[in-house]
Amino acid sequence: MRRIKNSKLMNIQVGNHILTATLVENSSAAALKEALAESPITINMRDYDRMEKVGPLGMDLPRNDESITTEAGDIILFQGSALVIYYASNSWNFTRLGKIDNVTATELKEILGDGNVTVTLSLPQE
């Protein structure tokens, strides 16, 4: 088993783009990081309502739901088992996992594209 780094960073690969996200400190993000220490997670995501990409994680994570208004780049756990990447604003009860660093809403929308997309989550190499 790989040692889990103390870093709060996670990589998100979308096609040829590798984005970096900063994870929040909660039991949901910790459980995701623990799973990523075992192996990267690939998620097939679909566009929903022209504001987000959503896809099944293939596992359940602890929920820390709270009332949130999302911004472009927010990474959210939905109902404990789906990963959502927002490229527009939405308000609901969600569990925040992290935020994509150094990308504008326009750049993120361009990277994610209009239709379905496959993303791979991983921890940065030590």
> Which region holds residue 28: left if phi is over 0, alpha if psi is between -120 and 50, else beta?
alpha
CA distance 9 to 48: 26
Enumerate the β-bridge partners of residue 10: 21
30-83 tens-digit pLDDT:
999 999 999 999 999 999 998 999 999 999 999 999 999 999 999 999 999 999
CATH number, domain 9-122: 2.40.100.20
pLDDT band for position 3 (cuts 50, 70, 90): very low
Its pTM stands at: 0.92
Question: Per-domain residue ranges for the chain?
Answer: 9-122
Of residues 7, 29, 122, the one with CA closest to residue 75: 29
Residue 12 DSSP one-character state: E
Of residues 61, 60, 75, the one with CA closest to residue 11: 75
